[in-house]
Structure 1
Amino acid sequence: MMKEKTKDWYEIENVDQIDSPALIIYQERLKENIVSIVDVVGDVSRLRPHVKTHKSDEITRMMMEAGVQKFKCATISEAEMLGNCGVKDVLLAYQPTLIKAQRWITLIHRYKKTAFSCLVDNLDTVSQLSDAAVKNGMVISVYLDLDVGMHRTGLRPDELTVNLYKAINRFPGINLKGLHAYDGHINHPDIKVRKEWWEKAFKPVFALKQILINRGHKCLTLIAGGSPTFAFLTGQDNVECSPGTFVFWDHGYLQSIPEQKFRPAALVISRIISMPGDNLICLDLGYKSIASEKELNNRVFFLNAPQLKMIGHSEEHLVAEVPEGHHWKIGDVLYGLPFHICPTVALYENAVLIRDKKMISTLKITARNR
């Protein structure tokens, strides 16, 4: 009697009921990753996960059930989702321009049980927020954004920043709570090299923090650390870690952070819709369905077809070269692990939730609405 083939972890028994392309979330792995992040950080009060990866109120509530009460987000829509979930503390890791500041104030008024804060790195923004706060009879909490190498927002942690910190404290209606630093560029696969880079980048940050404390700013929190570096911060005082990708993981981090034990919990499924040549297949996974900021062969890795070589990508189609003598046919399902899961999730209004290898429901990507 022939032994039945053991199914791989990602194979879905009722996949014929799922249209493609689709975002798939594996519930058991998702919950394991949440438990793992709490274990790694140790003290859950020092964990401030970034919700840009999942953008889901349902997953937010899963984290809250695990004891997480502070979150970080990138958009007003994500902040609104967190307020609606009853989160206690929300950081918008972005500087609001004047029109966004009005939306921000509306949000603060609407969700009075949530403590909201945002980033600043210049006095013009602080002045606008101060005027808006005074006009609305409220206090707006902010964190001073530091540039540790991303070179997109923030200030270098030096003496000029000390002076700016002091100046911000003079503005009415502004509550300066601490410092923020994002270090997404520090992602070398060798953990020793990565830690060396991180120590060099954060040495002036910790020096700045100590100077501010010595000058009387005692209640000062640093929020920092993406998925590649958050573990380095767990031993620091008054530091909150803010990883995000851990919840789903992706192929990029599987390659660049091999020591971390999070498991892929989100995939995209795609089907073969055409075979334009003997060694060519065409899939229904266009760049409307998978993050496409990376080079063509670094967008998706197919777990059940690792030998595929991508040769063409457009809005609705992905063309790939397959080896001679291949077994693929029209309608076959391919399970793809995105290289970058965060922007991939943002392409979908809903995800399919899998438990015990079967589709059980759909999960709304709540904050996808920008």
Structure 2
Amino acid sequence: MSDRYQISDSSSIISPGLVVFEELVDENIQKMIDIAGSVERLRPHCKTHKMSEVARKQLAAGITKHKAATFAEAEMLADAGAEDIFLAYNLVGPNIERAVKFVKTYPTVTFSVTADHERPLAQLSEAFSKAGLSIDVLLDVDTGLHRTGLEAGTEAEALYKQIADSPGIQAGGLHLYDGQNHQTDLTERTAAVKACWDPAIAMKKKLVAAGYDVPRIVAGGTGSFPIFAQFNDPALELSPGTCVFNDSGYSNMFPDMKFTPAAVMLTRVISRPTADRLTLDLGTKGAASDPPAGKRLFFPELPDSEHVLQNEEHLVLQTNKAKNYQPGDELIAIPTHICPTSALHKSAYVVRDGEVVAQWNVIARDRCLTI
């Protein structure tokens, strides 16, 4: 087992167990700050960890601005002490009234959301005007992912002006998420990120020239974060997420990013059905199954093992090292995708200096806490 993942006594860990190595989290937070250049430029996404303790670590490091994707995540951040929270999601239906309730519940928090269509924007404006409150709204800009947002241009500019002119709403800037940029080659990724940035910054300049305030540009995900960090616009806020825990997927995809997987799975052998097979208790209910079957986990001790079968509660590995393991033996597995993996667990075991010292609840894995 890697020296980074030593646990002196793992008998308290019920497997499959999510295990967070606290020193590695601290290292990853510091690397994030180093890449950004200062804490003021950071607005990290909490979707990966969903834990108050990690949010408090970022706050203690001086990171004051935070990003979320659900109201539960936003509430977790607010309860942890964050006072500037960006819910990077277009609000529709009951979420519009939830936004009003959130602002009433946390009056000291600067709260912002996104929009990309006039209808929910008008509903949001009406709800906040009626409540006598105000909310910041960022225009969601489509950089090529084609998931949400408007392409930078005339239609997007018109909607931004509507945001600025709507009662109960303040124009909060632009949101650029480029989740389509997974180029492993750094030169190719840099060019792709610049192609997302240039139209948005040109639009910003036009809006400012027309008299509209664009106070922030929240940009990037983990893979593009170091590239956006090279841009010097004072409105830019960098929003990496995965790197606080990291995973094997991003480690392989972005080898230029030297973050260490800090959240792993402890799993145990429950059967050795054949001479070259091990069955583990790490099924699809324990680790994210959005990566293709056979590529959902990496085992540092069995790097060449073939993942031949995974069901809800079982993972079968084929390996010529099977003879070295007995039922009850333990393995560390690094998830390919940690963000949905953490959401599968009620809590994580925390290891510091090789000892299990705490459990951190994955509070924001739910869709609703109190709001």
Q: SS state of the match for residue 92, structure 1?
A: strand
Report the counterpart of residue 232 of structure 2 in structure 1. Answer: 236
**Could you tell me how far apart the structure 2 residues matched to 1:110 and 1:160 are?**
34
**Could you tell me how far apart the structure 1 residues matched to 2:360 and 2:272 are?**
32
Q: SS state of the match for residue 340, structure 2?
A: helix
Report the counterpart of residue 333 of structure 1 in structure 2. Answer: 330
1:280 alignment partner, one of 277, 285, 301? 277
How much does 1:220 deviate? 2.8
How much does 1:98 deviate? 2.3
Calculate the TM-score normalised by the size of structure 1. 0.96
1:247 alignment partner, one of 244, 247, 251? 244
Number of aligned residue pairs: 365
What stretches of structure 2 of length at least 5 have no aligned partner? none
**Could you tell me how far apart the structure 2 residues matched to 1:327 and 1:239 are?**
52
Alpha carbons of structure 1 residues 231 and 324: separation in structure 2 relative to 1, 3 Å? closer
Q: Aligned AA for 2:11?
A: D
Q: 1:93-150 CA distances to partner (integer Å, 9 max, x unpaired)? A: 1111120111121111011111111010000011110110011111121100011111
Q: Aligned AA for 2:334?
A: L
1:137 aligns with 2:132: yes
How much does 1:84 deviate? 1.0
The question of whether the paired residues in 1 share the 8 Å contact of 2:207 and 2:214 is answered with no
1:158 aligns with 2:153: yes
Task: Identify which range, 232-241 or 69-78, moves more after superposition.
Answer: 232-241
Q: Aligned AA for 2:55?
A: T
Superposed counterparts of 1:29-48, under 5 Å: 29-48=24-43
Superposition CA RMSD, Å: 1.3
Report the counterpart of residue 200 of structure 1 in structure 2. Answer: 195
Calculate the TM-score normalised by the size of structure 2. 0.96
The question of whether the paired residues in 2 share the 8 Å contact of 1:70 and 1:88 is answered with yes
Q: Aligned AA for 1:285?
A: L
Q: SS state of the match for residue 362, structure 1?
A: strand
How much does 1:211 deviate? 1.1
Identity percentage of aligned residues: 39
Report the counterpart of residue 53 of structure 1 in structure 2. Answer: 48
Alpha carbons of structure 1 residues 204 and 21: separation in structure 2 relative to 1, 3 Å? same
How much does 1:363 deviate? 0.9
Report the counterpart of residue 143 of structure 2 in structure 1. Answer: 148
Superposed counterparts of 1:253-264, under 5 Å: 253-264=250-261
What stretches of structure 1 of length at least 5 have no aligned partner? 1-5
The question of whether the paired residues in 1 share the 8 Å contact of 2:177 and 2:219 is answered with yes
**Could you tell me how far apart the structure 2 residues matched to 1:325 and 1:173 are?**
64
**Could you tell me how far apart the structure 2 residues matched to 1:231 and 1:325 are?**
41
1:306 aligns with 2:314: no
Report the counterpart of residue 314 of structure 2 in structure 1. Answer: 317
The question of whether the paired residues in 2 share the 8 Å contact of 1:86 and 1:114 is answered with no
Q: SS state of the match for residue 351, structure 1?
A: strand
Q: Aligned AA for 1:366?
A: I
Alpha carbons of structure 1 residues 282 and 325: separation in structure 2 relative to 1, 3 Å? closer
1:111 alignment partner, one of 106, 131, 135? 106
